[in-house]
Amino acid sequence: MAIKLQMLTEDPKEIELIERYWAVDESGQYVEKVGALTDVIEMAPGVTLASFIRQRCNAFDDNQVCPKCAELIEIKNRSEAKKVPQRYASGHHVLRD
């Protein structure tokens, strides 16, 4: 599983946090648990780690490619990432059952 990151921030601490959040090992497992990352950077009250990262980074999954435009599909969080390539219906970014 490979996730391509498009950084929307230039802050080195934020970039490090984002890279740690999305980092996977050889077997496709996330290297760090979300709970271990929540105290790395101070966030405003009520802001979740996932929303903090979404505001500072666009993530694209190599295993999810649109059949119409051949672009990688943007994912919003770890649970949307796929370990194997996905088959999509002919509609733009529509997952086939």
- Whole-structure pTM value: 0.80
Query: Would you state the pLDDT for residue 4?
Result: 94
Which pLDDT belongs to residue 74? 92
Mean pLDDT for 30-43 is: 90
Q: Under the phi-then-psi rule, with left for phi > 0, alpha for psi from -120 to 50, and beta for the rest, what region is 54?
A: alpha
Secondary structure class of 52 (helix, strand, coil): helix
Domain boundaries, the chain: 3-80
Q: What does the pLDDT read at residue 83?
A: 72
Write out pLDDT tens, residues 73-94: 899 999 888 776 666 655 555 5
pLDDT digits (tens, 9 = 90+) for 40-78: 898 889 999 999 999 999 999 888 888 888 889 899 999
Nearest CA among 37, 32, 61 for reference residue 49:
37
